[in-house]
A and B are shown apart, each in its own frame.
Chain A
Amino acid sequence: MSEYSKDYTFDEMMTVLMAREVRNDDVMIVGVATPMVWAAFTLAKVTHAPDAIYHYIMGNTFVLEPRQVSLLYLEMNTARTYRFQDSVECTLESLPSDKLTTIEFFRPAQIDQYGNTNNVCIGDWEKPKIRLPGAAGILDFSMFYSRGSFLYTPRHDKRTFVPTEDIYFISGVGFPEGKPSICGGSGPQCVITNLAYLDFDEKTKKMRLNSIHPGIELKTVKDSTGFELVIPQNLKETKPPTIKELKLLQEKVDPLNIRQLEVLSGKEREELLDEIIQRELAMKNKFPKLLF
């Protein structure tokens, strides 16, 4: 029996939940600027999924070895250690195939009850209030993955979880009008947040509260969601990180807390960023540390 921890932060909870989604035969797709995803995949790799393969979009490279999460030297990892390098078009078009089971986590700026997502703009596209960086490969892949797409956000609030009519630009396809996409993918599988683990009702394809994190009130989740969630009769509590998972994450996988850059904001974030840069620049070796 694993022993569950009582002392953890919500970014640790989210990272562990994301790691638990990985299967041993997955290709794990690491996108741009998503250290929490990288940390989760590496945690999976050193716990229950030793055969899973990284695919770094930034290098179009398939990498076998787990390394400590790094902010500055990811390129050294992707460019040097690959076993196989794909051409870009080939990567783009063949990754979401039936042959490979891929897992990719997308972080939406907006999401509706059917898992449609927006990473393009807030406000009218023609003249947006906020122009976001863009949706990159989400536009290409969200409707294809045979194992579905996986979503996460550390900001479970009404600005992120919105009614369908308030999504400004659908850049990631969920279950349009409650039906699977015609492109054949399995659609969104789960949404991992700072408050809860959500999935989608098998019949209606509406977002469902699968489990609620320890210490979080049901009312908080409801009040933080801009649409009505499917709430099961006997609501479960999310299993927190085990002591082993937490120790690995903190000591081996991401000792510099790079994943926290995804959850912090403002001055706190600036300070952490400075600290990470300083600590990484002080390292003599620019290859992220090999784990095991």
Chain B
Amino acid sequence: MRTSKLMSLEEAISTYIQDGDLVGIGGLSFWRKPISACREIIKQNIKDLSLCTFVGGIEVDMLIAGGCVSEVRSCFVGMEIFGMAPHFRKAVESGSIKISEESEASIALGLRASYLKVPFMPLKGLIGTDMPKVRNDIKQIEDPLGSGTQVMAVPKIDLDVAIIHVPYADEFGNGNIAGAVWMDADMGKTAKKTIITCEKLVETEDIRYLSGKAQLPLQTTSAVVKVPFGAHPTSCYPIYTFDPRHIQCYLKNDFEEYKKKFILDKSPIQYFEETGGVQTIFNILL
């Protein structure tokens, strides 16, 4: 018998995430973020996390508001057209969290360096910006092979844990992403531990017939958790769209109240009922 990696959300988070970890979060902006896992992290009161995500939104803001974060590595954290991410902003302005300023390429290539086991990658961008003033671990260098081109060396990013939400996975850890993959495949493959949350469990055989197959292969997956609507209020293509009403609700409410209503002592089912349940599914998501 092959080993099943299926576990509960509570077990996956408590087993694989420790205080102080550098956590990679999959998805982008309001799309396919592992929000149910973020709520569980807040519930378990995990501390001092460093977050790394490509384009951060409500998940970063929520984890900061929940007191779980000491550092953010991201090139963008905002609520898109809904405005700024309020707790991210407040935390940076008050100095309660540290920022590691990144660009899209410094994250993409940092993860790629980790994948290739090289200490840095050369990058064409960043030259002429103020990035080197705030990052003493990047450096402008001349092509060592003699072309004379100036490049920026950016360091590898070694994640402790990656959390990635996908539409389909099997119980052995093969995850399939529909639509854009962004940095998720690199995060999943390079992190020391990878937690997949999924909408639907499928058979391994089914993965073969899904477009893209297992972008997250079983050998680098630590845990698989089934959480339907686990990305809500962000989207999970092709199953549901993001929920603008809940994002507005998040922004309008004081976080402590939000936490009481939607996070503390709430199972994924109770959470979803609080957000409007069947009404939300019929009128917004599908």
Q: Which residues of A contact B (CB under 8 A)?
A: 32-33, 35, 58-61, 71-73, 75-76, 78-80, 85, 87-89, 92-93, 96, 120, 125, 127-137, 139-144, 169-173, 176, 181-183, 261, 273, 277, 281, 286
Contacts and interface: CB of A to CB of B under 8 A. Distances in A.
Nearest to B91: A131
B193 to A, nearest CB: 22
Interface in B78-108: 78, 80-82, 84-85, 88-89, 92-93, 95, 99, 101, 103-106, 108
Contact of B75 (A61, A130, A134): A134
A273 B82 contact: yes
A260 to B, nearest CB: 11
Contacts of A58: 28-29, 31, 180
A88 B106 CA distance: 12
Contact of B183 (A59, A88, A139): A88
A144 B104 CA distance: 15
A87 B111 CA distance: 13
B130 interface: yes
B30 to A, nearest CB: 8
B109 interface: yes
B134 A125 contact: yes
A139 B125 contact: yes
B208 interface: no
6 contacts: A32-B76, A72-B241, A92-B109, A137-B75, A173-B127, A273-B82
Nearest to A87: B181
B76 A134 contact: yes
Interface in B226-243: 235, 237-238, 241-242
A239 B238 CA distance: 43
A118 B81 CA distance: 19
Which range contains the number of B residues in contact with the other chain? 35 or more
Given A35-B81, A142-B129, A182-B128, 11 more contacts: A32-B76, A58-B31, A88-B182, A96-B124, A125-B130, A128-B93, A129-B93, A140-B105, A144-B124, A170-B128, A183-B124
B238 to A, nearest CB: 7
Contact of A140 (B76, B123, B182): B123
Given A85-B180, A140-B126, A92 B84 contact: no
Contacts of A144: 124-125
A86 B238 CA distance: 19
A133 B134 CA distance: 16
B150 interface: yes
A75 B31 contact: yes
A286 B238 CA distance: 11
B244 interface: yes
Contact of A93 (B74, B105, B133, B241): B105
B283 interface: yes
A281 B284 contact: yes
B146 interface: no
B93 to A, nearest CB: 5
B179 A79 contact: yes
B245 interface: yes
A92 B245 CA distance: 33
A277 B250 CA distance: 16
Contact of B89 (A32, A87, A125, A130): A130
B140 to A, nearest CB: 10
Contacts of B123: 140
Interface in B196-251: 235, 237-238, 241-242, 244-245, 248
B93 A79 contact: no
B33 interface: no
B156 interface: no
B47 interface: no
A173 B152 CA distance: 15
Contacts of B181: 87-88
A277 B124 CA distance: 40
Contacts of A80: 179, 238
B77 interface: yes
B130 A169 contact: yes
Contacts of B78: 33, 133-134
B14 to A, nearest CB: 31
Contacts of A173: 127-129
B81 A79 contact: no
A59 B244 contact: no
Contact of A183 (B109, B127, B248): B127
B92 A33 contact: no
Contacts of A130: 89, 93
B112 interface: yes
A92 B129 contact: no
Nearest to A90: B108
Given A72-B241, A136-B55, A261-B81, A127 B108 contact: no
